[in-house]
Amino acid sequence: MQKPLKNLLTGALALLAPLALLAQKPADGDGAYKTGHYRDLFAGRGHSATASHAKIEATFQQLFHGDPQTQSVYFESGHNANGPLAYITDWANNDARTEGMSYGMMIAVELNKKHEFDALWNWAHTYMLVTDPKNPAVGYFAWSMNTDGTPRSTGPAPDGEEYFTMALYFAAHRWGNGTGIYNYQAEADRILRGIRHHPVLTGTSPFRIHPSDPPFTPPDHPWPSPNNTRLEQQAAAHGQKPQQFHFSSAPHAETIGPMVDEAHTMIRFVPNTNNPDTDPSYHLPAFYELWARWGPVEDRAFWAHAAEVSRHLFVAVTGPQTALTPDRVHFDLSPSLQRDGQPVPFSYDSWRSISNWSVDYSWWHKSADEPTLSDRYQSFLKSQGIHTFVDRYTLAGKPLSTRHSTGMVSTAAVGSLAANNSATSQAFVDELWNTPIPSGEQRYYDGMLYLMSLMHCSGEFRIIPPRN
């Protein structure tokens, strides 16, 4: 072959190589995605599918349409040009969060509740979506809002964007696409592209969510809530002042970019470029595998790799004797430190990690480490007392609270999807089944995790594939 022609062909092949990489379909594993079989853990404990479904439906009705003062976290709030509006509130903190809004949408699409799904998405899109071009978070969703649609924050949190994306893809597949904000596929693609490709923008506070809003300045004191009131009362009883976070209202520059750290193929804790942390509970390899098949073609190889990175992270950052994950670590997997210099412990975000890796194992069966982690985690909590283990620990297992929380019980039970079928894994399934539906002021986070955990453990939380 003549040298010029050979060089031309070599160059052409080099240009085609990235396209070939993008076209590679990741392996499907041997889990529910491939087999279509979702384990019903409750059936293994003697409960019929009818009884499990009734329990899930009763929980949905209480949390979404129960007594507004003691049971419900879902509230309808009128209409706009796009139809009904509704929000999910963290009752104990008097706000609506992208976390809860996206959880509510995921629950609604899985249970075929289109009215609630559309009303939640309409509220999130109307009030939370940042449209002011002077806000460096433009295109993201503000993570915390007052329930009247005014801001508590003008910046995002990636866990909400991840669940928005997945819920919208499932909605496109379950109900088909509508127009405008109800073109679910287009909205999911837009959010997912932003997660990886958001431009790096810098601005100086105060920021707005929408161009017509007044500038948002955080208060110089914590937001009023039952949680803060209780802290004040507890401190006063001991003659102390409560230690609470105070917002800085001074103008400051922020630089915000993608929600992933490209060098580490890892979701960020926040997209502010000066923050070197990831949150292990934000890692959702079960979802990333689907985005590697359904998302924008140019990003599919990235998400397939992100799933593998997340599986490695779970092993690397968990306590070796406890399988507890910290709320945050650096991208290089070294510990993030608190203000007192101690490593960030296992805390409220961390409850979700066992559910994330166990659902990943259930759907894909790609990591032999995930059953080991679930066994270790459940064994540790059982050693602490299955009815009494607390909700915050050091990674070595030193208790940091006295409260036993339903949300943590719930996600621990989801661990049985990956754990070896033992008396311990069965005990956690029983514990979830026998735990009452959360009510009262802590019903938001506990309740959302409780309901999704019931769905996972019954086999009713499923991949919703494209119609074709």
Q: Summarize pLDDT for 434-456 with one digit per residue, the tens.
A: 999 999 999 999 999 999 999 99
pLDDT at 48: 98
- Bridge partners of 75, per DSSP, are 87
Residue 27 predicted with pLDDT over 80: yes
Q: Which residues does 29 contact at the CB level (< 8 Å), separation at least 6? A: 289, 363, 364, 365, 366
pLDDT attached to residue 388: 98
Residue 313: predicted pLDDT = 98
User: pTM of this prediction?
Assistant: 0.92
What pLDDT was estimated at residue 185? 98
- C-alpha separations of 20 from 29, 263, 342 in Å: 21, 22, 46
Q: Which residues contact 23 (CB under 8 A, 6 or more apart)?
A: none
Distance CA 202, CA 242 (A): 35
Distance between CA atoms of 416 and 426, rounded to whole angstroms?
Answer: 7
pLDDT at 232: 65
Q: How sure is the predictor about 161, in pLDDT bands with cuts at 50, 70 and 90?
A: very high
Q: What is the mean pLDDT of residues 389-405?
A: 97
Give kind and range of the element (H or E) at residue 170.
helix 158-175
pLDDT band at 245 (very low <50, low <70, confident <90, very high): low
Render 181-197 in DSSP notation, one character per residue.
GG-HHHHHHHHHHHHHH
Q: Note the pLDDT tens digit of each residue in 68-93.
A: 999 999 999 999 999 999 999 999 99
CATH class of the domain comprising 73-218+247-260? mainly alpha
Query: Does residue 321 sit in helix, strand or coil?
Result: coil
Listed range (14-23, 376-385, 411-420) with the worst mean pLDDT:
14-23
- Per-residue exposure over 221-240, b if at least 16 CB sit within 10 Å of its own CB, e if not: ebbebebbeeeeeeeeeeee
pLDDT class for 302, splitting at 50, 70, 90?
Answer: very high
pLDDT on residue 468: 78
Least confident of 8-12, 133-137, 292-296, 424-428: 8-12
Q: How confident is the model at residue 45 (pLDDT cuts 50, 70, 90)?
A: very high
Predicted confidence at residue 219, as pLDDT, reads: 82
| Sheet of strand 95-97, all strands in order from the earlier edge strand to the far edge | 74-80, 83-90, 95-97, 144-145
**Catalytic residue IDs:** 99, 349
Q: For the chain, give the percent of residues with pLDDT over 70.
A: 89
Judged against a pLDDT cut of 70, whether residue 225 lies above it is answered with: no
Cα 152 from Cα 405, distance rounded (Å)? 26
- Does residue 226 carry a pLDDT above 90? no
Cβ contacts of residue 15 below 8 Å, gap of 6+? none
Q: Token pair of 170, please?
A: 């499932």
Sorted by where each begins, the domain ranges of the chain are 26-66+276-468, 73-218+247-260
Contacts of 213 (CB under 8 A, 6+ apart): 132, 151
* Mean pLDDT value across residues 248-261: 92
Asked if pLDDT for residue 2 goes beyond 90, the answer is no
Whether omega before 158 lies within 30 degrees of 0, making that bond cis, reads no
Contact between 419 and 357 (Cβ < 8 Å)? no
Work out the average pLDDT over 303-322.
98
**Arithmetic mean of pLDDT, 127-149:** 98
76 bridge partner residues = 86
Which pLDDT band holds residue 328 (cuts at 50, 70, 90)? very high
pLDDT over 90 at 258, yes or no: yes
250 pLDDT more than 90 = no
Q: Which fold has domain 26-66+276-468?
A: Glycosyltransferase (1.50.10)
- Could you give the count of Cα atoms lying within 13 Å of 174 in the half-sphere of its Cβ? 20
200: confidence class by pLDDT, cuts 50, 70, 90: very high
The contacts of residue 340 (CB under 8 Å, 6+ apart) are none
User: For residue 272, what is the DSSP state?
Assistant: B
**Residue 18 predicted with pLDDT over 80:** no
At 394 the pLDDT is 98
Cα distances from 108 to residues 64, 135, 158, 251, 296, in angstroms, run: 10, 31, 20, 40, 24
Integer Cα distance of 364 and 153 in angstroms: 36
Alpha helices, DSSP H, located in 318-442: 351-364, 369-384, 406-414, 423-434
- Confidence class of residue 11 from pLDDT cuts 50, 70 and 90? very low
Mean pLDDT, residues 401-410: 97
- Whether the pLDDT of residue 9 is over 80: the answer is no
pLDDT of the residue at 396: 98
Please report the beta strands in 232-374, taking only residues with DSSP state E, as ranges in sequence order: 253-256, 260-261, 266-267, 277-278, 329-330
Distance, CA of 14 to CA of 461 (rounded, Å): 43
* Residue showing tokens 């949190």: 157
Asked whether residue 254 carries a pLDDT value surpassing 70, the answer given is yes
Is the pLDDT at 281 greater than 60? The verdict is yes
How far is 308 from 364, CA to CA, in rounded Å? 12
pLDDT at 241: 64
Distance CA 159, CA 275 (A): 16
Residue 246 pLDDT: 56
pLDDT at 13: 38
Per-residue pLDDT, 227:
60
Q: How far apart are CA 250 and CA 94, in angstroms?
A: 24
Tens digits of residue pLDDT in 164-184: 999 999 999 999 999 999 999
Scan for tokens 């292990």, then name that residue.
280
Distance in angstroms (rounded) separating the CA atoms of residues 84 and 366: 41
What is the percent of the chain with per-residue pLDDT over 90, rounded to a whole number? 87
Spatial CA neighbour of 133 closest among 211, 195, 199, 204: 211
Convert the pLDDT of each residue in 329-360 to its tens digit.
999 999 999 988 999 999 999 999 999 999 99
The DSSP result for 110-141, as a single string, is: HTT-HHHHHHHHHHIIIIIB---TTSTTTTSB
pLDDT at residue 218, rounded to an integer: 86
Measuring CA to CA, which residue among 318, 308, 320, 306 is closest to residue 280?
Answer: 318
CB–CB of 278/269 below 8 Å?
yes
**Matching CATH topology for 26-66+276-468 and 73-218+247-260?**
yes
